[in-house]
Homo-oligomer: A and B are copies of this chain.
Amino acid sequence: MKQFLSVDDVADPMGVAREAIQLKSNPFQYQDMGKNKTLGLVFFNPSLRTRMSTARAAYNLGMHVMVLNVSQDSWQLETEDGVIMDGGKAEHIREAAAVMGSYCEILGVRSFPTLTDREKDYSEYLLNAFARHAGVPIINMESATVHPLQSLADLMTIEEHAQNKRPKVVLTWAPHVKALPQAVPNSFAQWMNRAPVDFVITHPKGMELAPEFSGQAGIEYDQSKALEGADFIYVKNWSSYHDYGHLYQAREWMMSLDKLKNTHNARVMHCLPVRRNVVIDDAVLDSNHSIVQQQAANRVYAAQIVIKKLLEAL
Residues of A at under 8 Å CB distance from B? 27-28, 31, 36, 38, 40, 43, 46-49, 51-53, 55-56, 59-60, 64, 66, 68-69, 72-75, 78, 81-87, 90-92, 94-96, 98-100, 102-104, 177, 272-278, 282, 285, 292-293, 296-297, 300
Residue of B nearest to A273 (CB): B91
Report yes or no: A99 in contact with B296, Cβ–Cβ below 8 A: yes
**Distance to closest chain B CB from A21 (angstroms):** 16
Report yes or no: B59 in contact with A64, Cβ–Cβ below 8 A: yes
Report yes or no: A46 in contact with B74, Cβ–Cβ below 8 A: yes
Instruction: Please give, as numbers and ranges, the residues of chain B lying within 8 Å of A297 by CB-CB distance.
Output: 99, 102-103
Q: Known: A96-B273, A177-B86, A300-B103. Is A60-B48 also a contact (CB below 8 A)?
A: no
How many chain copies? 3
Interface of A is mostly: mixed
Report yes or no: A272 in contact with B47, Cβ–Cβ below 8 A: no
**Distance to closest chain B CB from A168 (angstroms):** 26
Q: Known: A36-B31, A98-B293, A102-B296. Is A275-B90 also a contact (CB below 8 A)?
A: yes
Report yes or no: A56 in contact with B52, Cβ–Cβ below 8 A: no
Q: Known: A91-B48, A96-B273. Is A69-B66 also a contact (CB below 8 A)?
A: no
Residue of B nearest to A58 (CB): B64
Report yes or no: A66 in contact with B55, Cβ–Cβ below 8 A: yes
Report yes or no: A276 in contact with B36, Cβ–Cβ below 8 A: no
Instruction: Please give, as numbers and ranges, the residues of chain B lying within 8 Å of A94 by CB-CB distance.
Output: 285
User: CA A168 – CA B120 in complex, angstroms?
Assistant: 45
Report yes or no: B272 in contact with A99, Cβ–Cβ below 8 A: yes
